[in-house]
Amino acid sequence: MRTLKLQKLSGSLGARVIDLSLLNLTEACFNQIASALWENLVLVFKNQKLPIEAHLHLGKKFGELHTHPASKGVEGHPEILWLMNSGKSKNITEVWHTDVSCDEKPPSISILQSIQIPEFGGDTQFANQYKAFETLSPAMQKMITPLKAVHSSFGLESIHPVVRTHPETGRKALYVNNGFTKRFDGMTVEESQPLLDYLVIHASTPDMTMRHNWSTGDIVMWDNRCVMHYAVHDYGDAPREMHRVTVAGERPR
Ligand code: SIN
């Protein structure tokens, strides 16, 4: 059985998996990928160009797939979220967020494949939310740990802990974001906003991040339970097209 070859992408999170095709993975190799994901939070696989069925198959290995509540899927495949940013119109992925945290059962893993990439720009940034929690002062950690927050969008509203314990690693991660978190449970928006702003700014400082510069056919997978991300729109009106397979729940055991 071969061992995954990994190359770290920043001091905070992210690793590139070298020389591996995601087609026809053995169970042993998939288990190594899952372990590498728990350890590195984001994994990059260059030059994959996975057919739709293989992309879906990879997602299903992590658990039941999520269908986006509002955005349209790829023709005939509602579980493949189609992200097409043509023209500089703001969309929900261009803020620090974790995927669909307004869902009662928010996604665990996202697996994004680049279909069409602008000549320049269009990177995705990722931020380590274990580190975000661990670098708060003990007093702030203590204050926010019992809090819950209201996340809403797309007509959905859910309440989640502000600090989540990761089911695979047992580590604590901060879980608020600019895309969906509206207020702390039991508080008004006005009362909540200053602390929410502080937490997201803290959680996305450059020291906590890595950045992926895409080529067509790359696959990047990340763990939404401990990672925030941001799609940078710095490519003007050029088209940028991505397919995302999103895992709804936890990994079957
Ligand atoms: C996403 O937010 O899931 C998409 C990120 C991207 O398009 O870079």
Contact present, 77 and 127 (Cβ < 8 Å) = no
Identify each DSSP E strand in 117-179 by its residue range.
Answer: 124-128, 148-153, 156-161, 163-165, 172-174
Is any ligand 1 atom within 6 A of the Cβ of residue 204? no
Joined tokens for residue 175: 């879980």
Name the percent of the chain in helix, strand, coil, to the closest 5: 20, 30, 45
Cα of 231 vs centre of ligand 1, distance in Å, is 5
The DSSP symbol for 4 reads: P
Cα 168–chain centre separation: 16
Is any ligand 1 atom within 6 A of the Cβ of residue 244? yes
pTM value is 0.96
The mean pLDDT value of the chain amounts to 94
Q: Whose CA is nearest to atom 8 of ligand 1?
A: 231
Cα of 93 vs centre of ligand 1, distance in Å, is 5
Q: Whose CA is nearest to atom 7 of ligand 1?
A: 231
Q: Amino acid letter at 65? A: L
pLDDT in tens, 119-134: 999 999 999 999 999 9
pLDDT in tens, 206-218: 999 999 999 999 9
Residue with tokens 């895992």: 247
Is any ligand 1 atom within 6 A of the Cβ of residue 111? no
Beta bridge partners of 104: none
Contact present, 247 and 59 (Cβ < 8 Å) = yes
pLDDT of residue 105: 92
